[in-house]
Amino acid sequence: MDQPEIIIKPGMGALHYWRDIWRYRELFFFLAWRDILVRYKQTAIGIAWSVLRPLLTMVVFTIVFGKLAKLPSNGVPYPIMVYAAMLPWQFFANSLTESSNSLIDNSNLLTKVYFPRLIVPAGSVIVSMVDFLISAIILGGLMAWYRFVPDMRILFLPAFFMMAFMASFGAGLWLSALNVQYRDFRYVVPFLVQFGLYISPVGFSSAIVPEEWRFLYFLNPMVGVIDGFRWALLGDAFPVNWPGFALSFVLVSLILASGLFYFRRMERSFADVV
Amino acid sequence: MSTVITVENLGKKYLLRHQSGKQPYVALRDVLSDGVRNLGRKLLGRSNATERGAEQEEFWAIKDVSFEVKQGDRIGIIGRNGAGKSTLLKILSRITEPTTGSIRIKGRVASLLEVGTGFHPELTGRENIYLNGAILGMGRAEIKKKFDEIVDFAEIEKFLDTPVKRYSSGMYVRLAFAVAAHLEPEILVVDEVLAVGDAQFQKKCLGKMEDVSAKEGRTVLFVSHNMGAINKLCNDSIWIHHGRIHGFGNSSDVIRVYNASVAGETQTQLPVAGNEFAPLSVRSLQLVNADNVESVSFSCDEPVRILMSLEISHCIPGMYGYVEIFDQYGETILVSDTFDAGVNILEQLGAGVHDIELHIPPRTLGHGEYSLTLDFSSPQSDRTIRPDSTSVLHLDRVLRFSLDDFTTTRGNTRRGHLSTIIAWKTLVQHNS
């Protein structure tokens, strides 16, 4: 027989796992495609919503931080400064929210069909990526409106996006697995997202953070990502604090690695618990 | 033929949590508060480590299960609810891990534990075919190739681009089946999915499954409560009882023993005839079909015959009896008492053993699961035996049986409690 032999044993989940993920890549695309399709079919406001949300937040932040608090924007129009940060932040926040519920929402699949469970939270991140792309188009519009032209650094943007992806996926893995295990964890997620918005430089620039707080500040991995986005999009006005960025990057990698490890460990019992 | 599935000493243990009134899952809130409480106890020096452990109980859903399946075999898996059939299938489909033992499988496995897994109501029929196909393990190219065949099989061409939430339940099931029927794995694992869908379509699916497995040497594992379907489709059957293999062999043999045992188990629940003061006792009680074979699953087209053997030690004046049949929701479907015959037959019986038959005609009860209660009462019953009631003997839900409708168009999706076939006649033609 030329067929591969499957061996099922206790604690054997790890064997061929990555090969399986490759074999189930089409299911992965189909699930992501379903989520996107459903999302924009279900609500008339579907696409409008992913446009309005960051736009309105940007307006509020511009008024509160830029006009009322009169925080500096280093010569760049305040709305653009806010929106450049909003881009990765919304992506991160949406991914967290979506992926934390993803396993529960797909519990009917988990209990009826085998596939590497990893593709479920990964699919949620992909769905958030669509919103990200829509937001990116709006940013382009904003830049055109303010006649702001980014320089060659924009070529680095994909690298920072990768980092945002790693952070989103890593945290998403943690939250989705925790959510299966502790069903009330979903109440923690909105708080995390809201809290994160204020400790990340979305409404303000990193420059206003006092020197003595810098280390603590960069412990938030999204700080590195957002600073990177601003640097790539807005140029020298927003220099990256490279040691701080390195710290952020290490933390992001750590979150992703530990997320993968934790998810893989919990995965075996998902079907029994969910 | 080569062996494609080898199962050795398979076991699956679940921990049952005994926390009455709480959700089945763990809440972080509870873990935290328990943690704080335990910490508090430790600090106060009153540690009680056993407390959490006491809330859990081990339960082996499957234990010491070993068997081999050869290529092209069609294996039925039978057993009562909760015997462990579904757990076995879930382990075979890699949905859950075993606790002990191992399984070796050669070939691609597709499992069909539910019809229409992952169907999304908002998506159209076309989109759901792709989605469901991918979930069942087909590649996009494969689905594309079989797309027309699937649509044909499901008979839904006109509604391909309608969201499935607007489908009738029949269309929905047909579409789901059609996708599943076109799976082409080497090994197909099927759980009680044929219980839905109308009879004709069921036949079509069974036929398709039979076809492919016979022609292409596909291996099928099939769980069902429908003994007829198992007997038809599967050459061999495994009988699982309390998580262990209780019988494995030729399907018709295993089914016969299984049916006898299910009927037999209910007999053992009957009170022993030994009470010399009891005026009446039931020696035996069984259900038999038209061919005089003891059974618990019937077709709507055959009579359900209730046979009982009564031992009457002394006649009680005014004693009567009744049989009450409940559906699976506990609702009374039918009551028949000894006055049905015109005169109370019980009053005419003298001391001794009497065999009595109740004949429920074909096409009376609809498909479904039923239980049967037998009661004997007398207004002058001996109060020394049962001081509080007129009951002489009450056997609550002593027999369970099921009926399947194989012949009508709607079959097992026909609604209502009765399976009576009513003639539709044209009387007069009006030409307007």
Predicted confidence (pLDDT) per residue in B350-386, tens digit:
788 888 999 999 999 998 888 888 888 877 654 444 4
- pLDDT grade for B263, boundaries at 50, 70 and 90: low
Please report the pLDDT score of residue B273 as a whole number: 41
**B131, A30: Cβ pair inside 8 Å?**
yes
Tell me: the pLDDT tens digits for A173-186?
999 999 988 888 88
Lookup result for tokens 């005014």: B318
**B95, A26: Cβ pair inside 8 Å?**
no
DSSP labels, A59-70: HHHIIIIIIIS-
Nearest CA in chain A to B10: A9
Please report the pLDDT score of residue B395 as a whole number: 77
- pLDDT grade for A74, boundaries at 50, 70 and 90: confident
B7-11, B191-195, B270-274, B342-346 — which is least confidently predicted?
B270-274
User: What is the nearest CA distance from B131 to chain A, expressed in angstroms?
Assistant: 6
Check whether A254 has a pLDDT greater than 50.
yes
Please indicate, yes or no, if residue A8 is contained in any of the structural domains. Answer: no
Please report the pLDDT score of residue A173 as a whole number: 94
Taking the C-alpha atoms of residue B311 and residue B421, their distance in angstroms, rounded to an integer, is 38
Handedness of CA A102, A259, B11, B95 (dihedral sign): positive
Q: Which domain holds residue A201?
A: 25-268
- pLDDT grade for B267, boundaries at 50, 70 and 90: very low
Nearest CA in chain B to A27: B134
Report DSSP state, residue A83.
Answer: H
Please report the pLDDT score of residue B196 as a whole number: 57
Please report the pLDDT score of residue A161 as a whole number: 94
Do the interacting molecules here have an ipTM over 0.85?
no
Looking at every residue in chain B, the average pLDDT score rounds to 80
Mutate to test the interface with B, among A15, A30, A188 (most CBs of B within 10 A): A30
Residue A22 touches partner B, C-beta closer than 8 Å: no
Lookup result for tokens 């992952």: B118
Please indicate, yes or no, if residue A19 is contained in any of the structural domains. Answer: no
Check whether A30 has a pLDDT greater than 50.
yes
Nearest CA in chain A to B191: A112
**A113, B25: Cβ pair inside 8 Å?**
no
Please indicate, yes or no, if residue A135 is contained in any of the structural domains. Answer: yes
Please indicate, yes or no, if residue A101 is contained in any of the structural domains. Answer: yes
- pLDDT grade for A55, boundaries at 50, 70 and 90: confident
Residues in chain B within 8 Å Cβ distance of A115: 135
Nearest CA in chain A to B1: A1
**A27, B108: Cβ pair inside 8 Å?**
no
Residues in chain A within 8 Å Cβ distance of B103: 6-9
Please report the pLDDT score of residue B272 as a whole number: 38
Where would I find the beta strands (DSSP E) of B18-112? 56-70, 74-78, 100-106, 109-112
Do B366 and B416 form a contact (C-beta atoms < 8 A)? yes
Please report the pLDDT score of residue A44 as a whole number: 64
Please indicate, yes or no, if residue A209 is contained in any of the structural domains. Answer: yes
Query: Residue B35: which residues within 8 A CB-CB, separation 6 or more?
Result: none
Residue A70 touches partner B, C-beta closer than 8 Å: no
Mutate to test the interface with A, among B65, B70, B96, B190 (most CBs of A within 10 A): B96
Report DSSP state, residue B339.
Answer: G
Nearest CA in chain A to B24: A273
Nearest CA in chain A to B141: A26
| Residue ranges of B 81-140 with Cβ closer than 8 A to chain A | 90-109, 111, 113-114, 117-118, 120, 122-123, 127, 130-131, 134-137, 139-140
Residue A108 touches partner B, C-beta closer than 8 Å: yes
| Residue ranges of B 136-165 with Cβ closer than 8 A to chain A | 136-137, 139-140
* Average pLDDT, integer, range B201-208: 73
> Could you tell me what percent of chain B has a pLDDT over 70?
84
Continuous H helices in chain A: 17-23, 25-42, 46-61, 78-105, 107-110, 119-145, 157-181, 188-199, 214-218, 221-234, 242-267, 270-273
Residue A67 touches partner B, C-beta closer than 8 Å: no
Taking the C-alpha atoms of residue B81 and residue A167, their distance in angstroms, rounded to an integer, is 46
Number of domains in chain A: 1
SS3 label, residue B411:
helix
* Average pLDDT, integer, range B402-424: 86
Check whether A87 has a pLDDT greater than 70.
yes
Check whether B54 has a pLDDT greater than 60.
no
Check whether B311 has a pLDDT greater than 50.
yes
Mutate to test the interface with B, among A7, A9, A107 (most CBs of B within 10 A): A9
Facing residue for A271 by CB, picked from B96, B107, B118: B96
What chain B holds in terms of domains, given with CATH numbers, is 13-59 (no CATH), 61-264 (3.40.50.300), 270-413 (2.70.50.60)
Check whether B306 has a pLDDT greater than 80.
yes
A68-72, A95-99, B244-248, B306-310 — which is least confidently predicted?
A68-72
Please indicate, yes or no, if residue A161 is contained in any of the structural domains. Answer: yes
Whether the model clears a pTM of 0.80, i.e. scores above it, the answer is: no
Residues in chain A within 8 Å Cβ distance of B130: 30
Q: Give CA B75 to chain center in angstroms.
A: 17
Residue A26 touches partner B, C-beta closer than 8 Å: yes
| Residue ranges of B 175-204 with Cβ closer than 8 A to chain A | 186
Amino acid, res. B95 = I
Please indicate, yes or no, if residue A18 is contained in any of the structural domains. Answer: no
Please report the pLDDT score of residue B56 as a whole number: 67
Please indicate, yes or no, if residue A257 is contained in any of the structural domains. Answer: yes
Query: Residue B234: which residues within 8 A CB-CB, separation 6 or more?
Result: B74, B75, B76, B220, B222, B251
Check whether A167 has a pLDDT greater than 60.
yes
Taking the C-alpha atoms of residue B373 and residue B397, their distance in angstroms, rounded to an integer, is 4
- In a 10 Å sphere around its CB, with 0-12 CB exposed, 13-18 middle and 19+ buried, how is residue A248 labelled? buried
